[in-house]
A = this chain, B = another copy of it.
């Protein structure tokens, strides 16, 4: 086990807490803010960052993980990359009872550390992960199958920024109330009481990670929980353990260096044939669960982990309404990218695109419904050919069920753009498929109204834009959605869309024709999900995401000594 260099906690608080406070200000202002540069060649990542990242990643395979936590002594085999590489790291097998007990035991000193120390150490964890961003990006790339640059951006700087945002909200929420107060009730003889307000964390947190975005979806819950004093147990998806194992390793390193128990952050690796999430989620000592994944399991958690506050992001059906556009070329290019990015394996990928069957008005004149389909197909070709370019956007498909799903979807309507295979020039084993786009009628609800995760989209012909909106209203109410896009030339249509968005609780992007995509949100400025529809019961990241992770416990006395601990 490498030695840990002791951390000067006071110095860390002095250095990091002002940044945390500034970050919270940015979050409340919703302006641009970022701590971890998204450009892979940013000077922050040193010279030749791709190469040094690869060296570090290879070395990691050799050295293995430095984790200190109760283990049953067994080991769980490493993942196989969708790009062919067999990962060399193995993971300790765990007994949930032992992990939960160790986590609960570690809580009191972390609670006593207070919001400033916890925030500073969380930032230190993020910064150390930031220094290993290329290595972390490769871990995401080689487990999730995300394309290389995307895996770097979404897996490292963007995920770390979301984690930093969670720390900022958590710190703000814990420090908004005075920690001590002198209460004087006026009167002939004023009554005086001295009061202390303590942040009491709820208890052990369990993060249940998802296959496609191991770090991005998990960092907010992990950081919000740690920052509010709750020990975290991280259970990654069995196909994408390594990125979160790195997060836990760094967290343990920082905790130990600052004199805290490593058991405040532990890894619960799971073998695919022995699921352990249910056991963790229903333990009476587990008081917080953060989950990203299927609606079925998300609802199971909500129904069964009743002793805990459960934050879930589940499936949904994301819609686009096309009413018209002032930039047809920009719109089609933007849509093609949204369908293609990471082969549609995103909870934010649009699936149902509603278009009046009489066509739309654009800067290029009227386009029929069929022409809209042709333009989408052309934009996809343009984006994804040659294969060398396409694979940088599509990445690889890890889950064989997705390929089957594409085959099944083909027969649901008229194929507008067929899905075909691309040969990955550097990874012959990688499964790469272009998006399938199928035209259907609005009455073919069965085709488009359940999530078909993967590179599958529907162009849905409707009576007109009013009908499109009614379909979206119904879809979001029943199925949920994380994203919603609208293209129009009319302010009144925008107002109509906004009313709809408020009624059903989904955010809207209008007229995206440039380099921002409906599937993407920026930490500190865009909320990811609203928490108001069936796709998610929480938003990343807002006050509600952190408020339920701790309680305020008061001690009061007429004298100033209240035995504060």
Contact = CB atoms under 8 A, between A and B. Distances in A.
A532 B561 contact: no
Contact of A173 (B530, B543, B553): B543
Interface stretch (A72-80, A86-94, A388-396, A519-527): A519-527
Given A183-B525, A200-B532, A557-B510, A562 B516 contact: no
Q: Which 3 A-B pairs have the closest CB atoms?
A: A494-B563, A30-B181, A510-B557
20 contacts: A28-B177, A29-B178, A30-B195, A31-B181, A31-B184, A303-B306, A494-B557, A501-B553, A505-B551, A506-B553, A507-B553, A508-B556, A509-B556, A510-B557, A510-B562, A512-B558, A513-B558, A526-B554, A544-B548, A547-B548
A543 B169 CA distance: 12
B506 A563 contact: no
Given A30-B181, A31-B182, A531-B551, 20 more contacts: A28-B176, A177-B542, A185-B522, A193-B516, A197-B527, A198-B502, A491-B563, A494-B557, A494-B563, A495-B565, A498-B565, A507-B554, A507-B555, A508-B555, A510-B562, A527-B552, A530-B553, A539-B552, A542-B552, A543-B547
A473 B493 CA distance: 59
A175 to B, nearest CB: 10
Contacts of A176: 28, 543
A493 B28 contact: no
Interface of A: 27-32, 108, 111, 173, 176-178, 181-186, 191, 193, 195, 197-198, 200, 202, 302-303, 306, 491-499, 501-503, 505-516, 522, 525-527, 530-532, 539, 542-544, 547-548, 551-559, 561-565
Nearest to A556: B509
Contact of A505 (B200, B502, B526, B564): B200
How many of these chains are in the complex? 2
Contacts of A509: 555-557
Contacts of A552: 527, 530, 539, 542
Contacts of A539: 551-552
A544 B174 CA distance: 11
A25 to B, nearest CB: 11
A559 B176 CA distance: 35
A286 to B, nearest CB: 15
A553 B32 CA distance: 18
Given A191-B516, A197-B30, A551-B530, A499 B181 contact: no
Contacts of A27: 177
Contact of A526 (B508, B514, B525, B556): B556
Contacts of A557: 494, 509-511
A181 B33 CA distance: 12
Given A494-B562, A532-B551, A186 B502 contact: no
A183 B521 CA distance: 12
A554 B532 contact: no
* Most central of A177, A178, A530, A552 by chain B CB within 10 Å: A552
A321 to B, nearest CB: 12
Contacts of A184: 31-32
